């Protein structure tokens, strides 16, 4: 009986993984009705497990949701390095948003309970979308547990993930969540008309083999990615011509980048990556970007590589057009500067047959 019960519990365990995300071109124009190209980063991920249970339980993570400390110093050091929040609030928020969406759309859910737990190896505050990865993986678990994957369209899901994060005051756009829901390499258009009428953009998956070898540079103690958009956003809303025209240029970089990738014109890709960061720098200014973040970009540029933020700072995506000899120079430069460097692994599309059937034809 014990063995049968254990087998039954294992069979009913639902587990989903969502990966970190790299904004390759066009960011941050996704928040300004622009265009972006992003991909799923296989180097880091979050995993969420769902197990049926009598009560509904959100399990704290033994490390990320620590509430027992050795001393007052331990507690304060922990807060300084990790902040006040773990993943429990993220899991709670997506549960609320999921239920609200199902009620609004008259999707019936069986009255069943579950236990949610999570784990993540995505470095904090690196602009790699660690929070949304947890939310995205949890949403996938809920879709399967309640057997409603076919009823909630793929295009809608990034908005649900974002909505959960907005409940918690997290500043973000749709781009990251699209990359994490779809997996692989995705070209995204966020023009105002579509966003207003559909509530989401137009998302076009691309073949991951179009990408050249890329590298990730990140810092051990990076900046807070949620604070960088603030003044630019207000200036954009106020009709600042410089910001509006710059955002249009950044959006056009993604459009040009799509053609460059389809043609495997990597010289053009390198130029576009550099131009993307230059526009960000001119709009936000070095004070907002942070000296450490700017230095990560500059370290790569000093060896002749193309580089830009993966998100709002904390990590940089690098392309070495001259190949392995240039990568070696980059390795040495990163080691001297105290930055971590690793080859990027790109995750192929995560969509299954049920998901694909929900896509707008």
Query: Catalytic residue positions?
Result: 176
C-alpha angle with apex 307: 32 to 253, nearest 5 degrees? 35
**Backbone phi and psi for residue 75, each to the nearest 5 degrees, phi listed first:** -60, -50
The number of angstroms, rounded, from the C-alpha of 241 to the middle of its chain's C-alpha atoms is 29
CA 122-128-131 angle, to 5 degrees, is: 65
Peptide bond just before 141 cis, omega within 30 deg: no
Using an 8 Å Cβ cutoff, are 192 and 33 in contact? Answer: yes
Residue with tokens 């904390």: 314
Q: How far apart are the first and last CA of the chain?
A: 49
| Beta strands 215-218 and 340-343, pairing class | antiparallel
- Please give the Cα distance from 59 to 36 (Å, whole number): 35
What is the strand order of the sheet 306-309 is part of? 306-309, 315-319, 215-218, 340-343
d(CA 180, CA 135): 10
């Amino acid at each position: 009986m014990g063995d049968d019960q254990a087998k039954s519990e294992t069979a009913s365990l639902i587990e989903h993984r969502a990966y970190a995300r790299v904004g390759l071109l066009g960011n941050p124009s996704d928040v300004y009705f622009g265009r972006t190209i992003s991909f799923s980063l296989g180097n880091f991920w979050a995993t969420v497990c769902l197990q049926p249970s009598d009560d509904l339980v959100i399990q704290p993570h033994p490390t990320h949701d620590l509430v027992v400390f050795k001393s007052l110093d331990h507690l304060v050091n922990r807060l300084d390095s990790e902040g006040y929040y773990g993943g429990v609030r993220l899991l709670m928020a997506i549960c609320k948003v999921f239920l609200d969406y199902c009620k609004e759309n008259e999707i019936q859910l069986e009255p069943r309970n579950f236990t949610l737990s999570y784990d993540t190896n995505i470095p904090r505050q690196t602009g790699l979308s660690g929070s949304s990865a947890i939310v995205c993986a949890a949403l996938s678990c809920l879709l399967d547990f309640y057997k409603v994957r076919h009823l909630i369209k793929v295009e809608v899901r990034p908005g649900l993930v974002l909505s959960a994060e907005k409940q918690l005051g997290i500043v973000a756009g749709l781009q990251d969540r699209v990359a994490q829901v779809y997996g692989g390499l995705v070209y995204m258009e966020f023009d105002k008309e579509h966003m207003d009428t559909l509530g989401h953009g137009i998302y076009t998956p691309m073949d991951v083999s179009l990408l050249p070898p890329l590298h990730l540079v990140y810092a051990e103690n990076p900046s807070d990615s949620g604070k960088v958009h603030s003044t630019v956003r207000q200036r954009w809303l106020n009709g600042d011509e410089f910001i509006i025209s710059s955002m249009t240029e950044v959006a056009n970089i993604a459009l040009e980048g799509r053609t460059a990738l389809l043609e495997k014109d990597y010289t053009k890709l390198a130029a576009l990556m550099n131009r993307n960061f230059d526009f960000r720098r001119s709009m936000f200014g070095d004070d907002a970007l942070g000296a450490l973040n700017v230095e990560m970009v500059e370290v790569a540029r000093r060896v002749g590589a193309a580089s830009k933020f993966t998100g709002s700072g904390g990590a940089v995506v690098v392309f070495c057009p001259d190949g392995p000899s240039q990568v070696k120079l980059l390795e040495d430069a990163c080691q001297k500067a105290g930055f971590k460097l690793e080859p990027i692994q790109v995750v192929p599309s995560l969509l299954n047959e049920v998901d694909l059937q929900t896509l707008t034809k």
